[in-house]
Homo-oligomer: A and B are copies of this chain.
Amino acid sequence: MKPTDMAKEGTEMTEETEHMIEKNGAKETETVVSAGDAKEMRAVILSGFGGLNKLRVTKKAMPEPQEGEVKIRVKACGLNFLDLMVRQGNIDSPPKTPLVPGFECSGIVEAMGENTKGFEIGDRVMAFVNYNAWAEVVCTPLDYVYNMPDDMTFPEAAAFSMNFVAAYMMLFEVANLREGMSVLVHSAGGGVGQAVAQLCSTIPSVTVFGTASSFKHEAIKDSVTHLFDRNIDYVQEVKKISPEGVDIVLDCLSGENTGKGLGLLRPLGTYILYGSSNMVTGETKSFFSLAKSWWQVEKVNPIKLYEENKVIAGFSLLNLLFKQGRCGQVKTVVEKLFSLYNQKKIKPVVDSLWALEEVKEAMQRIHDRGNIGKLILDVEKSPTPLMASDSTETSEAGEEEEEHEGDNDNKERMPFIQ
């Protein structure tokens, strides 16, 4: 979808959304009800694309599992950079709002639909969800649900699913990480970065080059062989240490860095574009200028790849799971990762836990690159008193906010909260 189409869809969305709510009846309708009613649950709602003000916690009808689905009482949810892009509507084919964000969670199986062999009520599970994870209860097809290792905590599981699966598939299935190779990863202090570093340490003699904000260096220096400040010229720094370059470049930065990343590859090296955190760094820019940069990524000449013996790849775990139906392959990867976890070779790094009502502060922390490891929404956690009055607001006025384009996000930014 091109930026102009996206904008068009944006204006059409309000009417369509209203229509959708009426048509779908109780399941989709938001209502304000007193807590404790078993037919409802709390969830984070994105009322429209834009800034932090589009998020709030509200009550929604309790979802019930359809055939092949597992109903999970959610304990912890993962928060990803991608969720910030979703909030801004800055993804391909954005879904309609209002929606409940979130793609991963952990919890306890509470009920099952027909044909859900392999699961029992009370199972501790980790799950992928195609939106709707940031809620007290989630239903998702059993293909996306995995029984957790006994020793794994719920926050660990929620920190584990997307980051470790993505890191593993990029390193071992897209690229072919072997002994003696070298890897460059950006945002080495983030969830994926830490997963990459840990997985690299499971292979002998792998050199990891990482970029991260300087204040994180002390905390993560043991996980990365060579650490550079994210604002310096990493190409020069890598070449000082390894003039021939590296075998694998993992790039979540996008755009202008593709050429840099490709240039850093050794022969037979692989550049993987797995996301695009540049997209959300300039949160005060208008939606359109962000969307434009997404489509202006420099293109690659296959002949140059041929001459230089290079590989370029794209990796999107969500597309793989929810558009391309590769659940079987992901399941195999999850099993391998759980085995590594049980052998204590890998362990998700949890940055901090947040109540559902603190989702704005949590997002701001990711945006400001404050985190080391993963941010987790802890569904049973109470919000800190300071934030409670603001964040627990459940007014239904949200729908009307959709037509604001959120250009004034900056004004209402939360202060950085540890």
Task: Identify the A interface with B (CB < 8 A).
Answer: 92, 169, 173-174, 176, 258, 267-268, 270, 273-276, 294-295, 297-316, 319-320, 324, 326, 329
Contacts and interface: CB of A to CB of B under 8 A. Distances in A.
A307 B316 contact: yes
B258 A273 contact: no
B324 A258 contact: no
A2 B311 CA distance: 23
Given A176-B176, A258-B302, A320 B309 contact: yes
B307 A297 contact: no
Given A267-B320, A267-B324, A268-B329, A306 B315 contact: yes
Nearest to A267: B324
B309 A312 contact: no
Given A173-B176, A268-B174, A319-B309, A314 B303 contact: yes
Contact of A309 (B294, B300, B316): B316
Contacts of A324: 267, 309
B312 A268 contact: no
Q: Which of A274, A300, A311 has the most CB of B within 10 A?
A: A311
A174 B310 CA distance: 9
Contact of A273 (B274, B306, B326): B306
A-side interface mostly: mixed
B309 A315 contact: yes
A94 to B, nearest CB: 13
A311 B312 contact: yes
A340 to B, nearest CB: 19
Nearest to A251: B302
Given A176-B173, A302-B258, A302-B297, A311 B311 contact: yes
Instruction: Specify how many copies of this chain sit in the oligomer.
Output: 2
A176 B297 CA distance: 27
B302 A314 contact: yes
A301 B299 contact: yes
Contacts of A299: 299-302
A273 B311 CA distance: 10
A320 B267 CA distance: 7
Contact of A302 (B173, B268, B300): B300
Nearest to A304: B314
Given A176-B176, A320-B268, A313 B314 contact: no
A314 B319 contact: no
B303 A310 contact: no
B176 A92 contact: no
A294 to B, nearest CB: 7
Contacts of A303: 273, 294-295, 297, 314
A313 B313 CA distance: 8
A308 B319 contact: yes
Nearest to A315: B309
B305 A314 contact: yes
A306 B274 contact: yes
Contacts of A297: 301-303
Given A267-B326, A309-B316, A309-B319, 7 more contacts: A258-B302, A300-B300, A305-B312, A305-B313, A306-B315, A308-B314, A309-B320
27 contacts: A169-B268, A173-B176, A173-B268, A174-B268, A267-B320, A267-B326, A270-B311, A273-B303, A273-B305, A274-B306, A297-B301, A297-B302, A299-B302, A300-B300, A300-B301, A303-B314, A304-B314, A305-B312, A306-B314, A307-B319, A309-B315, A309-B316, A309-B319, A310-B313, A310-B314, A311-B311, A312-B312
Contacts of A316: 306-307, 309
B302 A312 contact: yes
Contact of A314 (B275, B309, B326): B309
A300 B297 CA distance: 10
Contacts of A169: 268
Contacts of A329: 268
Nearest to A317: B309
